[in-house]
Structure 1
Amino acid sequence: MSARFVVGYTANEHGADALALATRLAAASEALLDVVMVLPSEARSSTVPSDVGYERHLKERSRAWLTEASKGLDPDVAQSLHVRYAESFAEGLISAAHEFGASLIVVGAARGGILGRSRIGSVANELLHSSDVPVALAPSGSRELAASVGISRITAAVGSRPGASALLDAAVRLSKAMHAPVRLLSLASIDLPAGMDEGLAELTSTAHADEVLAAARRELPATTDVSVAVATGDSIEAAVRSLDWHRGEVVLVASSRLARPQHLFLGSTASKMIRELPVPMIVVPRTSSRRTAS
């Protein structure tokens, strides 16, 4: 059975970004794409407005937007178009993911973001702190990248501690599904206390990062095409800027330890990373019963 991805669509450039990323992911893994527009529950209310044709008009208009958007999709990507009602856009997408058995939710960045970067808006923020399904955030301008670019590499940010088994499992599944190599990444940024020897601190931090990466690598199957990288800098943002990124790359991060079991919670490191990342980020639950792109 093919994997299914839900993409939250809105009839603007940010919806186009989400759709473009979702198309690339689906094309690379031969997944079915469920394109979903979420309308407010109030649209079904008999009191707002009193015109009984309002709901039908709104749904027909949404269907027209979905149909128009689908014309630009890769013809090789299986797709299904849906209109759903919910109290919030994020709630509607999570419900749709449950309904379809989707293993990923894809959304666009918020308005006002820098081209090529992701800005977390209200919808993404709600998803990234409540969803029990992995969430992918498409940077601004993703619509300019052709589906043929595919997924060239999966970078798993393993953090500063070993034992991120859920993240590594997701990285292996994505690697297999999308035929892409894995890069294990440790962000060994250093927030130096006043007066501390900078060279010693950097050496200690990098040595610890090497240990973490070695432990993570041992957890991966021998058949996985894997490389390792350590990024250093005086901040997470600087460390991210120091790295090389492929055009077709995606970054995988785990949820914070504050997350409820099998739910997302975007941690502070990932929040800092996303400000500088020129590629999409996928956030997975700290422990997950759902399979990402399996």
Structure 2
Amino acid sequence: MRYVVGITMDKRGRDAVSLALTLARSTRAHHPVELDLVHVIRGVPPEQAGSKPEREYQKLCLTEARQWMAKAHDLVPKTIDSTTSIHFADSMAAGLIDKATSRPCDLIVVGAASHGPLRRFTVGSVANALLHSSPVPVALAPSGYLPPSRLTRLTCALGMRPGAEVALNVAVQSSVLHDVPLRLISLIALDARSGAAESTHAAREHAKTLLLRASQSVADATEVMVDVAHGRSVESAIEKLTWDDGEIVLIGSNRLAQNRSIFLGTTANKMLRSLPVPMVVIPRYHAPDVTPEKDISI
């Protein structure tokens, strides 16, 4: 497996490395993980610059990036395969996607904006661009994220619209890969729709159906459970759930996303503002692309 980790010259880069290490440590016994630490410099390489001032500026950026990347590489234990690279592109997001698509990649990992309160998410420009264009899953580390001693649980947030089964399949395969329990959650914002009782009943029935499907998929490989949370808003529903320090949430892309790409929907955006744990957004693969035989996991 290969994770492309976006390294920025601030604490977001450290947050991204911490999340990548959390995932790598839990799976390396079964599938060795390579961490590709990538820093992107906006513009062209110095030798391609059109003027002397631009060349000198790009050289300065390159020197600073090399020093920072050496520090980032030191954060990765020698027991985990890792490489560092500096890439020139029009933007950080474009550069990370370039690196991720240059050869097989399972995940892009980045840190959220650094000014989010209480270790919650504030999505910056880089993460926002990735969440609307990446062809591979994107993992977001909350500000100040520290790697737990181990990954303890994967949670998959599932809606009732078409496409939820794709995220479910990826979550099932990932929970088996990382050897952790899988929790399925359904969130109900009671002020967002009429007929609160009917909505709650429908969500519970839907969750039971997904629980049965997931349980049959994993057999005895791992534990599967389900939670239905409701509140006056998505944010308040999220806050009613319990969260482990070693937990990661998976969510599928909005139905507007093109095939094999990410588009973050309204509900996912609301979840980001309330989640105290990392989130992974799964591209909108066609269902036939995500099967136990294809083994698409994070």
TM-score (norm 2): 0.88
What's the CA shift string for 1:88-122, capped at 9, x where partnerless?
10011011111131110011111321131111111
Conserved? CA contact 1:149–1:247, under 8 Å: no
Work out whether 1:182 is the aligned partner of 2:176.
Answer: no
For residues 1-294 of structure 1, the aligned pairs below 5 Å read 3-30=1-28, 31-44=33-46, 45-50=48-53, 52=55, 54-142=57-145, 145-146=146-147, 148-161=148-161, 164-191=164-191, 201-220=195-214, 221=217, 222-223=219-220, 224-287=222-285, 289=289, 292-293=296-297
Deviation at 1:65, TM superposition (A): 1.1
Would the alpha carbon gap of residues 55 and 192 (structure 1) be closer, same or farther in structure 2, given more than 3 Å must change?
A: closer
Gaps of 5+ in 1: none
Q: What's the secondary structure of 1:263's corresponding residue?
A: coil
Alignment partners' CA distance in 1, 2:4 and 2:120: 21
Deviation at 1:209, TM superposition (A): 1.0
Residue 68 of structure 2 aligns with an amino acid whose one-letter code is W
Deviation at 1:285, TM superposition (A): 1.1
What's the CA shift string for 1:220-251, capped at 9, x where partnerless?
21234100000110100000011000001011
Alignment partners' CA distance in 1, 2:135 and 2:50: 33
- State the number of aligned residues: 283
Would the alpha carbon gap of residues 280 and 48 (structure 1) be closer, same or farther in structure 2, given more than 3 Å must change?
A: farther
Deviation at 1:66, TM superposition (A): 1.0
Alignment partners' CA distance in 2, 1:272 and 1:51: 41
Would the alpha carbon gap of residues 73 and 192 (structure 1) be closer, same or farther in structure 2, given more than 3 Å must change?
A: closer
Conserved? CA contact 1:103–1:133, under 8 Å: yes
Alignment partners' CA distance in 2, 1:283 and 1:51: 37
Conserved? CA contact 1:104–1:292, under 8 Å: no
- Aligned-CA RMSD value: 2.0
What's the CA shift string for 1:135-157, capped at 9, x where partnerless?
01100111xx23x5221111000
Deviation at 1:178, TM superposition (A): 1.3
Residue 103 of structure 2 aligns with an amino acid whose one-letter code is F
Alignment partners' CA distance in 2, 1:59 and 1:228: 48
Conserved? CA contact 1:161–1:212, under 8 Å: no
Q: What's the secondary structure of 1:216's corresponding residue?
A: helix
Alignment partners' CA distance in 1, 2:102 and 2:151: 27
TM-score (norm 1): 0.89
Would the alpha carbon gap of residues 231 and 49 (structure 1) be closer, same or farther in structure 2, given more than 3 Å must change?
A: farther
Conserved? CA contact 2:171–2:297, under 8 Å: no
Would the alpha carbon gap of residues 82 and 206 (structure 1) be closer, same or farther in structure 2, given more than 3 Å must change?
A: same
What's the CA shift string for 1:197-226, capped at 9, x where partnerless?
xxxx33322211111112212322123410
